[in-house]
Amino acid sequence: MQKLQILFSPSENKTLHGSGNSFKTSNLLFGDKDGIRANLVQKYNSIMTSEDEDEVRRLTGLKKYDDAKEFCEDLYKMPLAPAIERYVGVAFDYLSYATMNLDEQKFIREYTIIFSNLFGAISAGDSIPAYKLKQGVKLENINIATLYKKYFSQYLDDFLDDKLIIDLRAGYYEKFYTPKSQVVSMKFLKNGKTVSHWAKAWRGLILRSIAQNRPNSLEEILKMKTAGIELVEENSSKSKSKIELIYKIEDV
């Protein structure tokens, strides 16, 4: 049994492939006992199927309504795919999940939590439909990140209580949840400066390396080798509950 859990960001881009169409929010990680997710999804779905072009563009962040049409179908009737296969973007390109062996893919599905803009904290193996929701946008004045943090933090605290957390999220997704267990974060430097956009690529590569090495402790993480990066510094809080690993990177 692995003693770690990885927290990961989603991507605003999605693939449309999938199979089956029996999506239920209750099937996601931690379920939906109070209907929090169902309520948000219903609000999103109502707008996306309303033909209200202004609202659709606002939710998706797309300038042209025609570009959003492929996401304007009834969410509950759209094909499903595991979250780790649904997202398309820099981090997921560099993770290259499709090229991993079956054991590595299974590890990703079981030990990675992705923080969705629409669904909140979900397992990488959870089946979800394609959706398009711009980061930070509100649904009927509801701050989604704040709502999910309020209702799902205790579930996450209990689930992660005895695990070492590898936090590979982009800064925005820290708004969804603040870990209380020991957490390891990573920062990437190039020529002495913090990498921003291309940090997504390195987070994807680190996740791939974790799935290949399957470390069970901080010591094993420190020994883990990932091509193109070099660990140059380790910063810890006094309690050792927060650890930041700083890597020097090469071109990607």
Average pLDDT of the residues in 216-243: 88
Closest C-alpha among 144, 188, 132 to residue 10: 132
Q: How far is CA 132 from the centre of its chain?
A: 14
How do the domains of the chain map onto residue ranges?
4-249
Residue 252 CA to residue 249 CA, distance in Å, equals 8
pLDDT of residue 1 exceeding 60, the answer is no
Residues 6+ apart with CB under 8 A from 158: none
Supply angle C-alpha 127, 129, 134, rounded to 5.
Answer: 120
Three-state DSSP state, 115? strand
- As a whole number of Å, the end-to-end CA separation of the chain is 33
**pLDDT of 33-44, one tens digit each?**
999 999 999 999
> What is the structure's pLDDT at 2?
66
Residue 103 CA to residue 154 CA, distance in Å, equals 30
> What is the structure's pLDDT at 194?
86
Residue recorded with tokens 């690993």: 245
pLDDT of residue 249 exceeding 80, the answer is yes
User: Where does the pLDDT of residue 47 fall: very low under 50, low under 70, confident under 90, or very high at 90 and above?
Assistant: very high
pLDDT of residue 51 exceeding 70, the answer is yes
Report the 10 Å Cβ neighbour count for 192: 6
DSSP assignments along 190-241, one per residue: ETTEE--TTHHHHHHHHHHHHHHH---SHHHHHH---TTEEEEEEEE-TTSS
**pLDDT of 134-167, one tens digit each?**
999 999 999 999 999 999 999 999 999 989 999 9
Q: Residues of the chain with pLDDT > 90: what percent?
A: 84
- CA torsion, ordered 21, 27, 31, 33, to nearest 10 deg: 60
pLDDT of residue 228 exceeding 60, the answer is yes
pTM of the model: 0.95
